[in-house]
A = this chain, B = another copy of it.
Amino acid sequence: MTTTRGKLAALRRLMREHQLSAYLVPMVDAHLNEYVPACWRRLAWLSGFTGSAGDLLILPRQAILWTDGRYFLQAEQELEGSGIELFRKDEPGVLDVEPYLRSIMKKDAKVGVDPRVLSIASAKLLRKNLESVGASLVYTERNLVDTLWTDAPEMPTAPIEVLSREQSGASTRTKLEALRTSMKQENADALVITTLDAIAWTFNVRGNDVLYNPVVIAYAIVTEDDAKLFLDLAKVGKEQQRRLSRDVTLCSYDSVRTELSALAKRKARVWVDEHTTNQWVTKNLGRCDLVTTKSPILERKAKKNTVEIEGIRRAHVRDGVAMVRFLRWLSVEAPKGHVTELSAESRLEELRSVGEHYRGPSFRTISAFGPHGAITHYAATEQSNVKLGSGVFLIDTGSQYTDGTTDITRTILIGAKATDQQRRLFTLVLKGHIALAQTRFPQGVRGMRLDTIARTHLWSDGLDYGHGTGHGVGAFLSVHEGPQAISPVRCKGAFIEAGNVVSIEPGCYIAGKFGIRIENLNVVVKDDKRTTKAKTWLGFETLTLCPIDRSLIDDSLLTPSERQWLNDYHQHVENTLGPLVDDPQDRDWLTKACVPV
């Protein structure tokens, strides 16, 4: 069974056995990870499509893959000859999964799905759509793809590490106490945690089970007098076991089912965040009374404590030194014509890897020259890889250090003089970046209300960018972390709070020509000058330390206050990084890059 057609035929035989009219294979796994571990990449195994987002629907005589604009081209190529049709999400006239199913399913039809790979909320939506036409949703005991996929990779086995109080800034005991307080307010007997970064934060554990995210595959259940962590016990060394066992009962990964059934038996009131918990958990909770509101972990995790913030600052200093060494190297080597997108990416990783506490990239680097810079989520491949010539190079890249997670984008001019258009657009993006970075705002403001501030300079030139202005970032955790976001669409996003770490990353993309983005991470801080008894005021403090390319700035477009921000920023970068840059040539480059405009 090596071809997609063969696999689909086998799956259809299983569907007939289960009397299913359709079988749905979403991309996600049981922990709703952004990056799905190899052992659970069922959609890719079945269809050949390797993008990071999609849903596959198998019907008796048809198979359909839904994916979004980032992956249209890739999906077309990877699906060729598979017999799978591509449905382009959000294109005019293209129905999404649920309305499509509603439109084709007949009365009494059964649509199968593994309840592990649907959140409670999406299961509810799917069920509602099917029931509106008299069809039903059937949860298969085992994932039908797993039945066929006999040579699936094993689950990851890397050992876990337990963060010390000096690293995490808050003990597991303290965190559990806070969660129990929230549980009491909701009258919840138990809290089930399924997202891996929430588990990593609560139990101060880190692992190596998921690409880019230092997390451990696990479930957790917190009750008033216990906290059970369900994971592969072989990953837990003696020392880790000793440290965890003070507050935590360690259990095998599979035994979570027994524990859920026990909760079901005593009809406990159980808290399961409907957007982050899978439907399989609910199924096993039987007739328990459920609290489905937002997990009490999200907002706590997003408000970094002072130890975390200090760690994040140190990580940014190390990352900044690597960036300076990289950019100096680039300024020397790229004009010689032999640097490629891929070689630049690996050179930067090499320079970072010598830094203390380095653990690897926090996401796949976007190393994009010229027109590639205008492609959102571009990732260079051997096929697409180009040499950096004369023009604009965009690099969006980040690292995991055990004391912090980084994420930075710089747009660099290589070779020739910048065109007027390049300088104007770069400067408008910079003005938007500075406007938001300088904003002071009252406590109680959602990110959506701040997003526009970074756009108005571009808007006045009739330009815009098709992505959010900023996302939350974890502390040695996921580089994309909620619940807050500075986004034009997430209107129910959380308030921006002191201690949040968020990116500011406006951009401008000219298809077929180049892309511009300037991204710094920031920590939200209390503004003591403006804060009164009645009202707390907040502002941003920049964490990222790396020069912004002055050769792309048209300084005649800057106001005195913008100029001041830029010069202050560069002076801070030079003062902080200068003493740590060993090579005199690197130091010299840094000094020049930080000259005031």
Task: Say yes or no: is A595 at the interface (Cβ < 8 Å to chain B).
Answer: no
A460 located at the interface, meaning its Cβ lies under 8 Å from any Cβ of chain B in the complex: yes
Q: Are B459 and A456 in contact (CB under 8 A)?
A: no
Closest to A527 in B: B462
Identify A459's interface contact among B441, B452, B532, CB under 8 A. Answer: B441
CA A446 – CA B446 in complex, angstroms? 15
- Decide yes or no whether A442 CB sits under 8 A from chain B: yes
Residue of B nearest to A464 (CB): B442
Residues of chain B within 8 A (CB-CB) of A452 are 449-450, 452-453
> Which residues of chain B come closer than 8 Å to A448, judged between CB atoms?
448-449, 491
Query: Contact mask A527-540 → B, CB, 8 Å, 1/0?
Result: 10111100101000
Are B462 and A440 neighbours in the complex by a CB distance under 8 Å?
A: yes
Indicate whether A107 reaches chain B with its CB closer than 8 angstroms.
no
Q: Which of B440, B449, B453, B462 contacts A529 (CB 8 A)?
A: B462
Are the C-beta atoms of A491 and B488 separated by less than 8 Å? Answer: no
A439 beta carbon closer than 8 Å to chain B: yes
- How often does this chain occur in the complex, in copies? 2
Q: Is A497 in the interface zone, CB < 8 Å from B?
A: no
Q: Enumerate A454-475 residues with CB–CB distance to B below 8 Å.
A: 456, 459-462, 464
Question: CA A461 – CA B459 in complex, angstroms?
Answer: 25
On chain B, the residues within 8 Å of A438 by CB distance are 460
Residue contact A537 to B449, C-beta cutoff 8 Å: no
A319 adjacent to chain B (CB < 8 Å): no
- Beta-carbon nearest neighbor of A490 in chain B: B491
Which residue of the partner chain, among B439, B445, B491, B532, contacts A492 with CB atoms under 8 Å?
B491
Least distance between A260 CB and chain B CB atoms (Å)? 25
Residue A451 lies at the interface, judged by CB distance under 8 Å to chain B:
yes
Chain B residues with CB below 8 A from A449, complex form: 448, 451-452, 488
CA distance A464 to B531 in the complex (A): 12
A360-389 CB mask vs B (1 if < 8 Å, else 0) is 000000000000000000000000000000
Q: Which residues of B contact A529 (CB under 8 A)?
A: 462
Q: Complex Cα distance A546/B27, Å? A: 59
Closest to A561 in B: B460
- Which of A438, A460, A461: most chain B Cβ within 10 A? A460
How far does the Cβ of A66 sit from chain B's closest Cβ, in whole Å?
Answer: 23
CA distance A459 to B538 in the complex (A): 10
Please, which residues of chain B bring their CB within 8 A of the CB of A439? 456, 459-460
For A435, what are the chain B residues with a Cβ–Cβ distance below 8 Å?
A: 456
Q: In the complex, what residue of chain B is closest to A531 when comparing beta carbons?
A: B462
Chain B residue at smallest Cβ distance from A559: B559
State A462–B462 Cα separation when bound (angstroms). Answer: 31
Smallest distance from the beta carbon of A270 to chain B beta carbons, Å?
18
Q: Establish whether residues B453 and A440, one from each chain, have CB atoms under 8 Å apart when the complex forms.
A: no
User: Cα distance A450–B535 when bound, in Å?
Assistant: 23
- Closest CB of chain B to A476's CB: distance in Å? 32
Chain B positions within 8 Å of A459 at CB level: 439-442
A532–B462 CA distance with the chains assembled, in angstroms: 9
Contacting residues, chain B, for A535 (C-beta < 8 A) = 462
Tell me which residues across on chain B come within 8 A of A527, comparing CB atoms: 462
Residues of A520-560 whose CB lies within 8 A of B: 527, 529-532, 535, 537, 559
Residues of B within 8 A of A461 (CB): 530
Contact of A456 among B453, B462, B531, B532 (CB under 8 A): B453
Against B, the Cβ 8 Å flags (1 = close, 0 = not) of A255-298 are: 00000000000000000000000000000000000000000000
Q: Which of A499-521 contact B (CB under 8 A)?
A: none
Closest to A451 in B: B449
Q: How far is the CA of A532 from the CA of B464 in the complex (A)?
A: 13
B488 near A460 with CB under 8 A, answer: no
Contacts of A491 in B (CB 8 A): 446, 448, 491-492
Taken residue by residue from 424 to 452, chain A's Cβ proximity to chain B (1 for < 8 Å, 0 otherwise) reads as 00000000000100111110011011111
Offer 18 A-B interface pairs, CB within 8 angstroms, sorted by A.
A439-B456, A439-B459, A441-B459, A442-B459, A442-B464, A448-B448, A449-B452, A452-B452, A452-B453, A453-B453, A461-B530, A462-B529, A462-B530, A462-B531, A462-B535, A491-B491, A491-B492, A559-B559
User: Which A residues are within 8 Å of any B CB, using their own CB?
Assistant: 435, 438-442, 445-446, 448-453, 456, 459-462, 464, 488, 491-492, 527, 529-532, 535, 537, 559
Give me the 8 closest cross-chain CB pairs, A-B, nearest first: A491-B491, A462-B530, A449-B452, A441-B459, A440-B460, A440-B459, A452-B452, A442-B464
Known interface pairs A439-B459, A462-B530, A462-B532; 4 further A-B residue pairs with C-beta atoms within 8 A, sorted by A's residue number: A440-B460, A442-B459, A449-B452, A449-B488
